[in-house]
Amino acid sequence: MVPGLGELLERQSGLARRDQLRALGVSRQAVANQVAAGRWRVVAPEVVTVDNGRLDADQLLWRAALHAPIGWVAGRSALEFHGLDGYRPQQVHLLTPRRSRPLPLPGVVIHVTDRLPTDDPRVGGGLPVTSVARATVDAAAWERWPRAAAGVALAVVQQRLARPQDIGHELAAAGRVRHRAVLRDALGLAADGADSVAEADVVSLIRRAGLPEPARQVRILGRRHDLAVLLPDGRTLVVEVDGPQHGAVEARWADADHDAELAAAGVVVLHVPAYAVRHDADDVVRRLRAVSQAASRPRQDV
């Protein structure tokens, strides 16, 4: 075994760049012989692997990172590496300096930048990957739709991978990036306790309905509720943003039981399906206005 080769391959999940191999004394011909014998495989123009099987998730990240002379796993790929659930990308996102743009590589989305991460990817030997805050800003900026950009930021904060202020500092350093205003608003909502993009959307619908600014994540009768609004008659309106999990029989029964407790305490409850927030916002506003108007009418004793 060539001195240092085992350590290099172990550190990089069995992959290596050709220039790394040459630095250890492995000649081009030696690499070609290993590939011809079927012991090694070429997985990128400058990258080989000693694993003959299908590349696993870590190896796919290393393949992308090693493809560029200088590069970082970035965006959604970096967020998944840092532990974000529910945002697995179909391709690996790679950030590289504009001056060293590598050739296209199947399965890899290459993003060039003039604003390099502060950490040198060649230092430390671990997988070169951007920080959570940088990855969040990049992932949001690379999204096609503003709502998806906001969703990335809210998910990162909700899963406690980064604080809103940390992402905000990175956003300020980034300058003019796509979806900047939307991302800034989402971070503000996250700092106030919004857990999801649907919940953030409902806040804007409450404003459209002419209701006061809602409080977020309010605990009433021992249970935390998404949004709480003060109605004209002094009562509290609880607005719950229900995801698909609330459609299950057990969840619906639990919601109904707690709604009855709230009603007995004089609290008004409105459940808003998350899909309605996205696909029928006008109807949600109409329902909110109806509740507000009913609370504005003089109450008559029976």
- The pLDDT assigned to 273 comes to 82
Q: What is the identity of the amino acid at 259?
A: D
Helix (H) or strand (E) holding 223: strand 223-230
Q: Where in the chain is the domain with CATH 3.40.960.10?
A: 197-296
pLDDT tens, residue by residue, 156-173: 988 889 999 999 999 999
Residue range 221-236, pLDDT digits in tens:
888 888 999 999 999 9
The DSSP H or E segment spanning 80 is helix 75-82
d(CA 189, CA 183): 10
3-state secondary structure at position 230: strand
Q: Do the beta carbons of residue 61 and residue 43 sit within 8 Å? A: no
* Structural domain 197-296, CATH architecture: 3-Layer(aba) Sandwich (3.40)
pLDDT band per the 50, 70, 90 thresholds, residue 150: confident
Nearest to 273 by CA among 186, 220, 185, 201: 201
Strands (E), 98-201: 108-113
Residue 185 CA to residue 165 CA, distance in Å, equals: 12
Q: Quote the CA–CA distance of 177 and 34 in Å, as a whole number.
A: 45
Where residue 300 falls among pLDDT bands split at 50, 70, 90? low
The DSSP symbol for 213 reads P
Which residue, 263, 246, 244, 243, is CA-closest to 254?
A: 246
pLDDT tens by residue, 234-269: 999 999 887 655 445 666 777 888 889 999 999 999
Residue linked to tokens 């965006």:
75
